[in-house]
Amino acid sequence: MSLRVYNTMSGKKEEFKPLVPGKVGMYVCGVTVYDYCHIGHARANIVFDIIFRYLQFSGYETTYVRNYTDVDDKIINRANERKISSQDLAEEFIQAFDEDMEALGLIKPTHQPRATEYIQQIIDINQKLIDKGMAYASGGDVYYSVDKFSDYLKLSKRNMDEMVSGARVAPGEQKHNPMDFALWKAAKEGEPSWESPWGAGRPGWHIECSAMSSSLLGDSFDIHGGGRDLIFPHHENEIAQSEGASGKPFVKYWMHNGFVNVDKEKMSKSLGNFFTIRDILKNYDAEVVRFFILSAHYRSPIDFSDHNLSEAQSGLRRFYEALEASTNAIEGLDSTGHSSQEGEKLEEKFREAMDDDFNTALAIAHLFDGVRNMNRLIATKKFKKKLDLVAQVQDLHATILRLGSVLGLYRSQPTEWLDKVKLKGLKKLDITQEEIEALIDQRLQARAEKNFSRGDEIRVELEGKGILLLDTREGTTWRLK
RNA sequence: GGCCCCGUCGCCAAGUGGUAAGGCAGAGGUCUGCAACACCUUUAUCAGCAGUUCGAAUCUGCUCGGGGCCUCCA
């Protein structure tokens, strides 16, 4: 079974065959750096993070480019509001972005170019398009003539006539056709600008991605990704620019992730229903956020809510509890002399799921099966003496960790993770760790005196406050209800 | 108005022609002084209607409901 990916261009799943066998070039539209990232950005970046990881896991030598758009109207406006320079604003939010991605446990792309580092390439594309008659300079601006590109709207599958009727020309724009879009904008007073054959100016939106992708991946490459909302106009315009300039096919597979919704509605700034990554991480562990996002298929919409995050946390906790139990169960038992096929079987299912357009939800379901399997083995009587079973648990344990890392999961020490999440949850309750431990001591005392009714009282009291006591051979511990 | 997506167990969520994965929550059981964890058992015919087919959650049509893009947006 080989990798199949859903291509927005064809609207179907296609067998994945890179341009150069064994190698993949992937470009993902990053952020415009003028504000903090929200959970929608988190989803897009996590989705392509695991696509990157899985391509590498599958043996592809992958070059992953994710840009920063650091020159743009929104940046200029925001910088003016704050009375700082665009560069300082961009710098501030590039740093914030990097911190957020690091916190979410993303691995770094191969290249993270900035639009302002590619001004010359942007100018070159403009010139090439003008030379070919596909773009025109007009009053210091440069516009793309969409009617010169017959494939325009092939990605978003829209109808030009109807688009035109709804298109508007902003005041000051000098377009021949309302659907034309700016490749280069003449600088206004106080805006960042660069010298060009058309006077001082700055790039339009879209063109920077054409410049950075061709510079780092070539005129044609394998995968181009981003959120669904980028299909039109951003990606459509990129195609027009890049194919118009190079005369070659731009991208082989277009991949778009679904939205994050809040109460079934798209999250957006205008609705005011967005959550920043930073705020979410105050209440939930980063891995919980990742687990939540990967528990649905990347193209489906997901509903962000406290309830859903909590469920994700419960699910992840199951993994960590199993990992903790298996770590303890196989501790000190090295080579058993027995072989096991359990890991191999699990990996096969995992690959099958991931090969089917990165079906992380199914892949995780298989890992859950692995967990149950492992727990069942450990619960066997005289487990440690049955070396064939020990071998299977060792195999499953290692495989779950290895496959989990392809999803960026289970990277923490189980006990540490469980404690961390527990203490984070405790903050919401009306009791402290010290109080719990004091009560545990009292209960221990009572039980030592065979005063079970007092012991049960304490259990019930703590349960009322959201704390469950666990009696084990090593003593009594607690967890959140 | 144009284009597009979705509606699967209480909740989350896979499954795109061959007879419904998984998780959370619930019930019963084993274990436990009592519990918890873990394990075992158990819970759906897929919004509705009409078709195509030997066979459909999966294809077609219609209806109802929800959402997205068409202006900046992951």
Position A172 scores a pLDDT of: 67
Nucleotide showing the shortest C1' distance to residue A360 CA: B14
Tens-place pLDDT, residues A105-146: 999 999 999 999 999 999 999 999 999 999 999 989 999 999
Domain boundary (A271, A295, A325) is at A271
Is residue A110 located within the same domain as residue A45?
yes
CA–CA separation, A240 and A153 (whole Å): 9
Give residue A240's identity as a one-letter amino acid code: A
| Residue pair A403/A367 in contact by the 8 Å Cβ criterion | yes
For A276, the token pair is 């920043």
Tens-place pLDDT, residues A9-47: 988 889 999 999 999 999 999 999 999 999 999 999 999
Position A480 scores a pLDDT of: 83
Instruction: Give domain status of residue A422, yes or no.
Output: no
Nucleotide showing the shortest C1' distance to residue A258 CA: B74
> What φ, ψ does residue A123 adopt, rounded to 5°?
-65, -40
> What φ, ψ does residue A297 adopt, rounded to 5°?
-70, 145
From the list A29, A33, A39, A96, the residue with the least C-alpha distance to A286 is A39
For residue A269, say whether it is annotated as part of any ligand binding site: yes
Is residue A364 located within the same domain as residue A474?
no
Is residue A232 located within the same domain as residue A290?
no
Instruction: Give domain status of residue A343, yes or no.
Output: yes
In degrees, to the nearest 5, what angle opens at C-alpha A409 toward C-alphas A405 and A414? Answer: 110
Is residue A347 located within the same domain as residue A470?
no
Residue A429: pLDDT band (50, 70, 90) is confident
Q: Using the CB atom, is residue A166 less than 7 Å from strand B?
A: yes
| Residue pair A402/A349 in contact by the 8 Å Cβ criterion | no
pLDDT higher than 70, residue A397: yes
What are the C-alpha distances in Å from A453 to residues A127, A159, A441, A443, A466?
86, 76, 15, 10, 20
Query: Which secondary structure element, helix H or strand E, spans residue A49, and what is its range?
Result: helix A39-57
Residue A267: pLDDT band (50, 70, 90) is confident
Torsion of CA A392, A393, A399, A400, to 10 degrees: 140
Q: Using the CB atom, is residue A447 less than 7 Å from strand B?
A: yes
Domain boundary (A395, A416, A437) is at A416
DSSP per-residue string spanning A332-363: T----S----HHHHHHHHHHHHHHBT--HHHH
| Residue pair A33/A94 in contact by the 8 Å Cβ criterion | yes
CA–CA separation, A366 and A42 (whole Å): 24
Domain housing A476: 429-480
pTM of the model: 0.95
CA–CA separation, A205 and A1 (whole Å): 40
pLDDT higher than 80, residue A319: yes
Is residue A234 located within the same domain as residue A380?
no
Q: Using the CB atom, is residue A457 less than 7 Å from strand B?
A: no
Name residues 459-478 of chain A with a Cβ under 7 Å from nucleic strand B.
Answer: 459, 468-472
Give residue A108's identity as a one-letter amino acid code: K
Q: How far is the CA of A356 from the C1' of B53 (A)?
A: 27
Tens-place pLDDT, residues A342-353: 999 999 999 999
DSSP per-residue string spanning A261-319: EETTEE--TTTT---BHHHHHHHS-HHHHHHHHHTS-TTS-EE--HHHHHHHHHHHHHH
Is residue A386 located within the same domain as residue A450?
no
| Residue pair A157/A236 in contact by the 8 Å Cβ criterion | no
Residue A254: pLDDT band (50, 70, 90) is very high
Nucleotide showing the shortest C1' distance to residue A231 CA: B69
Instruction: Give domain status of residue A240, yes or no.
Output: yes
Q: Using the CB atom, is residue A481 less than 7 Å from strand B?
A: no
Position A416 scores a pLDDT of: 94
Position A166 scores a pLDDT of: 64
Return the percentage of chain A with pLDDT > 70, whole number: 98
Q: What region, left, alpha or beta, does residue A421 occupy, with left being phi > 0 and alpha being psi -120 to 50 degrees? A: alpha
Residue A467: pLDDT band (50, 70, 90) is confident
Return the percentage of chain A with pLDDT > 90, whole number: 74
Q: Which CATH number belongs to the domain containing residue A32 in this structure?
A: 3.40.50.620
Is residue A229 located within the same domain as residue A345?
no
From the list A391, A259, A246, A388, the residue with the least C-alpha distance to A330 is A391
Instruction: Give domain status of residue A51, yes or no.
Output: yes
Nucleotide showing the shortest C1' distance to residue A261 CA: B67
Is residue A410 located within the same domain as residue A462?
no
Tens-place pLDDT, residues A469-479: 888 877 788 88
Q: What is the mean pLDDT of chain A?
A: 92
Instruction: Give domain status of residue A107, yes or no.
Output: yes
What residue is closest to B68 (Cα–C1')?
A266
Q: How far is the CA of A296 from the C1' of B6 (A)?
A: 14
Tens-place pLDDT, residues A206-215: 999 999 999 9
Is residue A47 located within the same domain as residue A110?
yes
From the list A113, A93, A99, A92, the residue with the least C-alpha distance to A32 is A93
Residue A167: pLDDT band (50, 70, 90) is low
Residue A453: pLDDT band (50, 70, 90) is confident
Q: How far is the CA of A183 from the C1' of B10 (A)?
A: 53
| Residue pair A245/A40 in contact by the 8 Å Cβ criterion | no
* Residues in Cβ contact with A96 at an 8 Å cutoff, skipping those fewer than 6 apart: A36, A37
The total number of structural domains that make up chain A: 3
Is residue A237 located within the same domain as residue A181?
yes
Q: Using the CB atom, is residue A11 less than 7 Å from strand B?
A: yes
Chain B positions with a protein C-beta closer than 7 Å: 1-6, 11-16, 21-25, 32-40, 66-74
Tens-place pLDDT, residues A64-112: 999 999 999 999 999 999 999 999 999 999 999 999 999 999 999 999 9
| Residue pair A30/A66 in contact by the 8 Å Cβ criterion | yes
Is residue A325 located within the same domain as residue A450?
no
For A272, the token pair is 């005011």
Is residue A57 located within the same domain as residue A200?
yes
Q: How far is the CA of A373 from the C1' of B29 (A)?
A: 20
CA–CA separation, A19 and A353 (whole Å): 24
> What φ, ψ does residue A275 adopt, rounded to 5°?
-125, 130
Nucleotide showing the shortest C1' distance to residue A452 CA: B33
CA–CA separation, A68 and A94 (whole Å): 7
For residue A29, say whether it is annotated as part of any ligand binding site: yes
The residue with greater pLDDT, A194 or A337, is A194
